[in-house]
């Protein structure tokens, strides 16, 4: 769908004159792709992206193309000449160039604020592929939470406690055109709203690493994570896409269930930011009589041996941290790294695919308490 007629031609000329007298000036194409689901902030450009656009306009001829998930593959939502001109020439006066850029940006901002996705899935990889399919150098801006929930990286099944290099390597070579000559900026990664619960810091870090890895795999000229929060506010997207379940901390009288996304950096036994605070609440349940079993689990994966090793190390790491928080080492009567051999819930369906909710439940450390400290 092309919405170029929505834009007044105050400082623009027809596209047919875009190259008139400008052979010596730099030409830049900026492609902006958005997923715009109901679980993501309203589309709005960050200052980082705006500054990149401003630099391009200052350098010469600039074209801005917008892509929205759900539109025809390879088709643009809008395609605009963003060049500020004096007649047929690029405007040489910097103040007038700045004024023209601000006018163009205001129109684009208004257009983007009305972009809402309606698809049943979140597929930022497809949007990136659409942008990359156009030949030639370009700046590609992908504004998305990054929570892909369709193949080849369905994070509703994989979760975010994953081996990032392995997942990146598993992305098929034909999933994207090569990104050679293209500068890629990821904006909004890990930012969510609506039904999608906020991501713990370690999960956001894994998500960023995943997309940076995919970008590098396909040979982009540069890969940038825009850390500036998307300022857009509540979503207008109608696409109620599946959410990524990372589990919840559950405190019962004699049991505490801790998701690995809260405790550990993805695929490791390194404690995540916020893990110590979560374990402090567990430590409060111990007194001189309390004993505990610690059982670390994960979801089904290709290597039972690797899963056992990881969960054993994680169980020991939790115990070490609780001891550091003041719990006696002798309080722990058993520490089990169960891998995926003793799941809390069966997490494979008949086709051998992970069941998202069950897999999320199994990615956990459980502390079973005998004679826990009672309040009061």
Class (C level, CATH) for 250-370: alpha beta
Q: Give the pLDDT of the chain (376 residues) as one tens digit per residue.
A: 433 333 333 333 333 333 344 444 578 999 999 999 999 999 999 999 999 999 999 988 999 999 999 887 767 899 999 999 888 888 888 899 999 999 999 999 999 999 988 889 999 999 999 999 998 899 999 999 999 999 999 999 999 999 999 999 999 999 999 999 999 999 999 999 999 999 999 999 999 999 999 999 999 999 999 999 999 788 888 778 999 999 999 999 999 999 999 999 999 999 999 999 999 999 999 999 999 999 999 999 879 999 999 999 999 999 999 999 999 999 999 999 999 999 999 999 999 999 999 999 999 999 999 999 886 5
Q: What are phi and psi of 30, to 5 degrees?
A: -115, 120
C-alpha distance from residue 326 to each of 282, 286, 334, 350 (Å): 11, 9, 18, 45
Beta-strand pair 364-370/255-259: antiparallel
Q: Is 96 helix (H, G, I), strand (E, B) or coil?
A: helix
Is 142 exposed, middle or buried, given 0-12, 13-18 or 19+ CB atoms closer than 10 A? buried
Cα(328)–Cα(214) distance, rounded to whole angstroms?
45
In the chain, where the domains are located: 4-226, 250-370
Is 267 exposed, middle or buried, given 0-12, 13-18 or 19+ CB atoms closer than 10 A? buried
List pLDDT tens digits, range 186-207. Answer: 999 999 999 999 999 999 999 9
Give 367's strand partners.
256, 294
Give 31's strand partners.
65, 140
Give 184's strand partners.
140, 223
List pLDDT tens digits, range 134-171. Answer: 988 999 999 999 999 999 999 999 999 999 999 999 99
């Amino acid at each position: 769908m092309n919405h170029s007629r929505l834009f007044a031609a105050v400082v623009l000329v027809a596209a047919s004159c875009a190259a008139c007298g400008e052979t010596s000036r730099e030409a830049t194409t900026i492609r902006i792709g958005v997923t715009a689901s109901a679980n993501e902030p309203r589309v709005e450009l960050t200052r980082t992206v705006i500054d990149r656009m401003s630099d391009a306009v200052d350098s010469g001829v600039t074209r801005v193309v917008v892509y929205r998930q759900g539109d025809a593959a390879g088709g643009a939502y809008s395609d605009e000449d963003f060049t500020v001109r004096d007649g047929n020439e690029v405007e040489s006066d910097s103040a007038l160039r700045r004024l023209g850029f601000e006018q163009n940006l205001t129109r684009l901002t208004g257009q983007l604020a009305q972009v809402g996705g309606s698809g049943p899935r979140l597929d930022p990889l497809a949007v990136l592929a659409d942008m990359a399919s156009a030949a030639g150098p370009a700046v590609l801006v992908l504004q998305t939470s990054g929570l892909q929930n369709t193949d080849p990286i369905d994070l509703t099944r994989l979760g975010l406690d994953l081996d990032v290099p392995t997942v990146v390597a598993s992305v098929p070579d034909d999933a994207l055109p090569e990104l050679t000559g293209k500068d890629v900026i990821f904006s909004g990664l890990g930012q969510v709203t609506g039904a999608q619960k906020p991501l713990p810091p370690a999960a956001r870090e894994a998500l960023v690493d995943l997309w940076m890895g995919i970008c590098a795999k396909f040979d982009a000229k540069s890969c940038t994570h825009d850390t500036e929060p998307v300022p857009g506010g509540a979503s207008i997207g109608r696409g109620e896409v599946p959410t990524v379940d990372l589990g919840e901390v559950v405190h019962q009288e004699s049991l505490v269930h801790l998701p690995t996304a809260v405790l550990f950096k993805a695929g490791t036994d390194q404690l995540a930011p916020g893990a110590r605070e979560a374990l402090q609440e567990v430590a409060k349940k111990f007194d001189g009589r309390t004993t505990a079993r610690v059982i670390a689990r994960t979801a089904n994966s290709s290597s039972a041996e690797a899963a056992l090793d990881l969960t054993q190390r994680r169980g020991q790491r939790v115990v070490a941290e609780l001891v550091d928080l003041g719990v006696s080492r002798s309080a722990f009567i058993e520490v089990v790294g169960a891998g995926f051999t003793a799941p809390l819930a069966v997490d494979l369906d008949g086709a051998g695919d992970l069941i998202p909710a069950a897999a999320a439940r199994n990615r956990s450390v459980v502390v079973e308490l005998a004679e826990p400290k009672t309040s009061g």
